[in-house]
Structure 1
């Protein structure tokens, strides 16, 4: 599962459970940007199986490669573990994925431990329950527009609150820094924009092209 704020990789993907031997490609990414949003997607992954194998913790793993989300991935799966699942959105191999990484070395997932839970737990709507709010469905294009708006004016809410509240009893803080003058926000704006520009989403299709702002 993955978590995102406007400054991070997008959302927490929730895969629909497989029905019998059927495997679904449908995912829902949850995004927290002031409110809770979700993006639904169909993520079919086309794998090429390679005969190469390795031994890991007593399991023989077979190699498979794919291109997904603008990246080239190499996976190692165990055919003896009859689960067509893996980390993030990766699925659809004839066995459970133990290891998967992209060819740039930016992302790598490794199965460290597995164990049987003492009972069955209902995880339906778990994010909605913990967030305490109902997610609003949006498109990927809408998501990018929201991040671009955040980039163009990252301190908008803080600036408006500061300007609209003149009471001497009112104090404003941002990241534990007390705001006493609007000029302080310039450095914070630059830091927020730099953070967004350096974002490296796991799916490059989620990347936003940010303009240079002096």
Structure 2
């Protein structure tokens, strides 16, 4: 049932916003160049890898050693605007069509985080990741990693059709209010390096 709802909602959103997405793609091409779409390997259901699609919001500027500069130095004014209204997430509708993710679920994170989770935190992978989720409407990037994972696990244990509807409704409100976009003191979210529990257990 959820897969059916995902395809229906994703189809409606895709065709409604298609003209808008084409304009965004053109603007990114003009100001940031190619590629227009940012592709990154993320962990999906049961930790299986897949490639996540997003509109590009950063430059590819590197230091003298050929390493990418910090996010702060690469995030452009255009990129900040795209992230402020979550417009950069639109290409993930393609991921929904492919079955990689759902509309609602824990956000898909980097593969390198998998060994750092506690047994409790790993429960977030018992469902498909999503474009939006319980953690996104309860703080997004303004809360700690531990709080995010706790909210993700709560969703896994309480998921229902009506909870998904509530999350979708509150997501629209959060987008217009532009709340919790960045972690305090950072332009994005600092990388997860393991919680105190995993570090004590020798996994950090």
Same fold (TM over 0.5): no
Richer in strand (by share):
1
Greater relative contact order (Cα < 8 A, sep 6+): 2
Q: What interval of TM-score do these two structures reach, taking the shorter chain for normalisation?
A: under 0.3
- When Rg is computed on C-alpha atoms for both structures, the one with the higher figure is 1
Structure number with the higher helix fraction is: 2
TM-score normalized by the length of structure 1: 0.23
